[in-house]
Structure formats: structure tokens, C-alpha cells
Amino acid sequence: MDSMVRNPDVKQRDAAQAVVVAVSSDAIFDPEVEQVHGATEPLRKGDAFSFMKAIQVVNERLLTLNSDETLLFDVILLSNDSEEKHSRIIASAKHYGLDIGRFCFCNKEDSIESLQSNEVKLFLSMDTNDVCKALQKGVPAALLYHQTDPNHQTEDQLKVVFSGDVIGSSEEMLHGLREQGFTETQLQGFKTAKGSVKEFAILMGEMRRRFGLEGSPLCTGLMTVWSSRDVCASALKTLRGWGLLVDEAFCLAGAPRSPILNLGFIGNTMKSSTYVKEGRDYSMYYGLEV
Amino acid sequence: MNLDPVQVMKGQSNPKDPTAAPVTASSNGDGKGAWEEKEEFDQGHLGLTTKPLLPKPENAVTIAVSSRVLFRTETEQKVYEQKGVEEYLRYQVEHENEPFAPGPAFSFVKALEAVNARLRELYPESEELFDIVLVTYNHAHVGVRLINTINHHNLFIERFCMTGGSSPIGYLKAWQTNLYLSADAEKVREALSEGIAAATMFMSNKLTEVSQTQLRVAFDGDAVLFSDESERIFKAQGLDGFFQHERDNEDILLDRGPLKDFLASLGKLQKKFYAKGHRLDCPIRTYLVTARSAASSGIRALKTLRAWGLETDEALFLAGAPKGPMLEKIRPHIYFDDQMFHVEGAAEMGTVAAHVPYGIAQKHPHKKSLNTGN
């Protein structure tokens, strides 16, 4: 059971045509450690804040090019907060002028269902478990991670970077993982991850094509973290087959990713999903690095 | 907060140990802790079976090359200049399965790989190797063609970034780049101003054969290994003034130049060969090729190097004589000079020369300078 509240300040998108993105409220607004009863001032900005602003810029540019554009980002704020915080969340969104179309308030257990019923194309959260659960149910999701310097993020360009390791993965590579001890369920999970990012990638490809090569508010990229360059090449071709020609490509081959992602000019970044196997954590980088 | 997954792994229990305590993903906000405990995958199963592991940037000598110096891309450049970026990218994709021909930095990169092979033989566990990364402003559309070309030439380049037009300086820094080679002087200048050793390379039609077994790197002295102090004196006070200044300051060290640290990193690798008894047949050889003269102004240069704990295998004091013939004898894989006059002179004789756009010589490129004097 969830309660959906439409934001009266924002023009509602046609959800069937739009790119519906659900963002956890804990990512947009800093989850406060102390609950101050009756507090009314706007919540502090969270780690996804500049990402929200960048989405707004893309939407504005799309509408400038075509005022009847329907391929826009449609943001749902997903909140598991207590009822007394609801109005404060709505008020904070208004205060910052955030382009949030709908607020979805529900219990944690019902989150996945809400995401599914709203046909969310991507779910973003800072909670590893939430992201994992969503992915396992086939909901495309990505983890937002702690940006070290929120002031260093650019707000005028949305950078969406896809994971080459999953997109470029092949049956052969998955077979290798089987030998590493991954179960069939988990391998199936990887395949699901690759499948669920496909739809989002197609949409990003379409959206990217609305803009020219230079000066686009939407910049797309590919990052391969630990696989070889051939996996990267395979990912580039796969994305191309899905209609997405990325602007940037990075192949790290195990080099630390964080210095690259933390650089201010790369803009907002989100982490990938984490696949947890007993005794080990494997980061399967699948989705969005924005 | 150190997010380096490999470093976080150190100190953890052996991930392959099935009895290790399970590491659970912690919730909300602290997710980054568990997330970062990424296991070192057995790279053999990830399509990297035949290739050795790659070093961490802080341990390796990272050499970043751009696509235009590693390969020949003149045809494509023309398409870009004459028909614009869309047509250029379309052309690249269309010719995706045609590998590029080797460019000016190619033989240098091959020589680096040969040194790596020797280092791996002697020190199989060490990460102190050359790490060659491709850093290009190119759009990722060219990515497949570049990867196909790397495969075709059997180069060991696993790391790259194609920035689609944005500045790669941040990535150069993130990867602790020890040397950046590009065809674009602007980008090289930008790198130098950020403290990264860098040089511009040009395609030459004449290329003499270079050694396949020994990496040879030659450096000019002033404004390359050392600061441009002497150039400044020469311009202000002429040749006599320069000589006097050098005599008066013989015991005062010269200041460092942009490639000093790169020479130091080469020296560090050389010592690894010496330690295993390969002094005479060391696969790395360095040269100082300077217009200073041995009897006078050269002394200060040598003293400075010595004080820095650095040395070059050979020091050639030309006392103003042209460098071309000497370089032709040495046959370095790359020669660094701050003056285009010398870079061009070297290229005419078939030496791969790289321009370091540093110091006062850049402001007066055509005027007579110290190195062209007598």
C-alpha cells in the first residue's frame, strides 16, 4: 500500500512516454540523525541533489527544443519516512524548486511493489540492500554513493555512465564466474541486471539523440572497471546495437575508480548494485553511474 | 575516505577461504563500507587469462599516450578538419575494422613493453612496471576502432579513457601519470602547468631503426631536466654572461625541470636490473644531450644531477654543436627537447623527438637561443 501524492507545482508528465525515475528521499534530502519533532525548515540537501538539478536542466532543454516533448524525466520521490515527515518533504521539494512529479510514501516492505506498479525505469537509493532487492525482482536500480564534495558537482550537465563489465559480459565470462562459485541464481541475477539496464539504455540513447554532439546537457558514458578491453569493446557495440552511442568511455582494468568518479567535473555519480554472496561481496557494476 | 577497492581488501581475511566470516552489506549510508570490499577477481576467468595482472597506478610508471601519437590518424584528422565532427565519427565507425598504422610513440611503447617483459621475469610479483594508458580527447565512437587496433598490434594497453572532448587532466592526475605524450601542444602545456611531465610528438616520415631490446631515452638538459634559468640568463646577458653566471654558480644546484621526475622513475627501474646483475646489459639506457660544454657549463649540470641522486648512462656535451648527428648515433626511442629547432633537426635525421613546451624559449621560438649559439 502506498500513497501517491502529485506535486501541484510540477507539470505532470505522461508516464507512459516519460523516463520514470524513482529516487529515495534519503538520497535527495540528507536523512537527519536526530528527529526534531515539529521542525519545519527545509531539509538539507542530500547526495543526489545536484543529480536532481541536472535532470531538470535536461528536461528544460528538451522542452526548449520541442515544447510537446514527452520523452522527459519523470521523477518520483520514494519515501519510507514516518507520516509526520511527509509534509516536510513535500515542502522541501517546493522550497528547492525540485522537478519531482510525484511523491510516493510507503512502507519499506512495499517499496518494490510500488516501483513495479509505477513502471519505474530506474530506481536510485543509497541503501545497498534496497538496490539488491529491487534488482533481484527485475527492477532496474543503482546505488547512489556518498559524494565527498557536494559543492564540486556540476549541475548543468547530467552524466550517465553505464557499466561495461555487465553490458559487455558474455556467456563465456558468466561461465567463468560459475567456476568461481557463483550460483545459478546469482548468475541469473547478472543476466537480469543486463536485461533491465537495456531498456534504460535505449531510452538514454533516444534522449541523447535529441541533442547534438556538442553542448548536450546529457552526456553518456561507459565504464569498465575490472574487465579487459575486449569486454569494453563488446559493451560499446552492444550499446550501439541498443541505439546508444556513448560520448565517453573508460576502461580501468582494476585501477581505482573513485579518484575518477570523485572528480568534480564528472558530475554526479551513483554506484552500482552490489551482489552479496555469503562470505564475499562482489560489486557487479551494472547500472548507472551518473 | 579511501575508496580504493584493492587497498580495502588488504587486511581482510582471504576471500577465497570459505570459512571466512561473512561480510554483510550494511544498510543506509554505511553501504559504502561493504560495497567497497570488492574481491580481487581471479582475472584468469575474466577474459584476462593470457595477460598478466595490471599494476596499481601508484606503483607503476604510468605513461599516458594519446591516440594521435600512438597511431597515425592523418586521414581521419583531415576528415575532421574538412567535414566536421559528425562526418569524422561516421568515418571512424565505418572503418572500424581497419587498424591504424603505428604513430610516433609506437616504437617507444613497444620498447616499454619489452622492458616490462624483462622486469616480470626478474620480479614476477612486483608492480613496479610501466603502465601504458591511452588517454584521448576522442569521442567514444572511435573506441571500437582503437581497441581493434590495439589488438591488431598486440599492444598491452588495458586502461584507457576517451573523454569525448572534455579535458583529461583530471584522469591524468588520478592515475598518477608520470609522462603524457600528445600531438596537441595546448593539452601538453595544460599538463605541464598541472605538474605532469608532458611532451608534444610529431609524425615524421623518416624514422631510423631503433633497438628492440633496449629502451633508450634521451633528454636535453636546460628547460627539460633542469629549469630554464640558463636560457633566461643567455637571453638577458648573452653567451658571455651565461658562461660567467655558470662559473659563479657552479656549486649552486640548478632548479628542477619538468622531466626530472621521469628520469628519476627510469633510474629506479634501472636499479632493479642492476640488483639482479644486469648492469652492463640493462634494458634501459638514458642519455643527457646538452649544448653545454663539458669543461665549463656542463659541470654544473653534472653536479646537479649527482646531488639529486640521479644519473644518465651517457652525458653528451655538444658545446653548441648540432644535436642531430649525435642523436642519430644514439638512436633513442624518444628525445625530449624544449626547442622546436632541435626537435625538427632531430626529426630530419630520423630521430623520434618530443617537444617540451616549457620555459622562456617558448616565448621567442625563432630567436637565437643558447643551444643554437656557439
Grid look-up 562470505 returns A279
Above 90 in pLDDT, residue B78?
Answer: yes
Q: Contact A281/B38, CB-based, under 8 Å?
A: yes
| Residue A277: per-residue pLDDT | 29
**DSSP assignments along A214-280, one per residue:** SS-SEEEEEEESSS-HHHHHHHHHHHHHTT---SEEEE-TTS-SHHHHTSGGG---EE-EEEEETTE
Partners of residue B158 in chain A, C-beta under 8 Å: 228-229, 251, 253
Asked whether the predicted pLDDT for residue B49 surpasses 70, the reply is no
B21 touches chain A (CB under 8 A): yes
Cβ–Cβ contact A256 with B under 8 A: yes
Question: Is the Cβ pair A248, B162 closer than 8 Å?
Answer: yes
Q: Which residue of A has its CA nearest to B36?
A: A283
Pairing of strands A158-163, A288-289: antiparallel
C-alpha neighbours within 13 Å on the C-beta side of residue B209: 3
- Taking the CB of residue B179, how many other CB atoms lie within 10 A of it? 26
Residues B288-319 have pLDDT tens digits of 999 888 888 889 999 999 999 999 999 999 98
Least confident of A180-184, B89-93, B113-117, B164-168: A180-184
Q: Tell whether the torsion through CA atoms of A40, A45, A49 and A50 is positive or negative.
A: positive
Residues of chain B with Cβ-Cβ distance to A31 below 8 Å are 28-29
Q: Which cell numbers hold the place of B17?
A: 577461504
pLDDT of amino acid B57: 80
Name the range with the highest mean pLDDT among A175-184, A218-227, B177-186, B200-209. Answer: B177-186
pLDDT, one tens digit per residue, over A24-74 is 998 889 877 665 666 778 888 887 787 888 889 999 999 999 999 999 999
As a whole number of Å, the end-to-end CA separation of chain B is 56
B175 vs A: CB within 8 A: yes
Inter-chain touch A249–B162, beta carbons under 8 Å: yes
The pLDDT of residue B53: 64
* Nearest residue, CB atoms, B31 vs list A128, A179, A252: A128
- Which three cell numbers, joined as nine digits, stand for A66? 520541442
Share of chain B above pLDDT 70, in %: 83
Yes or no: say if A62 and A77 are a contact pair by the CB < 8 Å rule.
no
Beta carbons of B46 and A231 less than 8 Å apart:
yes
Asked if B202 is an interface residue toward chain A (Cβ–Cβ < 8 A), one would say: no
Task: For residues B13 and A160, give the distance between their C-alpha atoms in angstroms, rounded to a whole number.
Answer: 35
Q: With an 8 Å Cβ cutoff, is A235 touching chain B?
A: no
Q: Alpha-carbon distance A220 to B141, whole Å?
A: 12
Provide the shortest C-alpha distance from residue A11 to chain B (in Å): 31
CB contacts of B62 in chain A (<8 Å) are: none
Comparing A95 with A192, the larger pLDDT belongs to A95
Tell me, yes or no, if B164 comes closer than 8 A to chain A by beta carbon: yes
Buried-exposed string A122-154: b where 16+ CB fall within 10 A, e elsewhere: bbbbbbbbbbbbbbbeebbbbbbbbbeebeebb
pLDDT tens digits along A63-99 = 999 999 999 999 999 999 888 889 899 999 999 999 9
Q: Is B220 noted as a catalytic residue in this protein?
A: yes
Which residues of chain B does A172 touch, with a Cβ-Cβ cutoff of 8 Å?
47
Q: What angle do CA B148, A231, B123 make, to 5 degrees?
A: 85
ipTM of the complex: 0.81
Chain B residue whose CA is closest to A177 = B45
A259 vs B89 pLDDT, higher one: B89
The span from the CA of B347 to the CA of A278, in Å, is 60
Relative to beta strand B71-72, strand B101-102 is antiparallel
- Minimal CA separation from A244 to chain B, in Å: 10
CB contact under 8 A, A180 and B45: yes
**Distance between CA atoms of residues A206 and A195, nearest Å:** 18
Kind plus residue range of the DSSP H or E element containing A161: strand A158-163
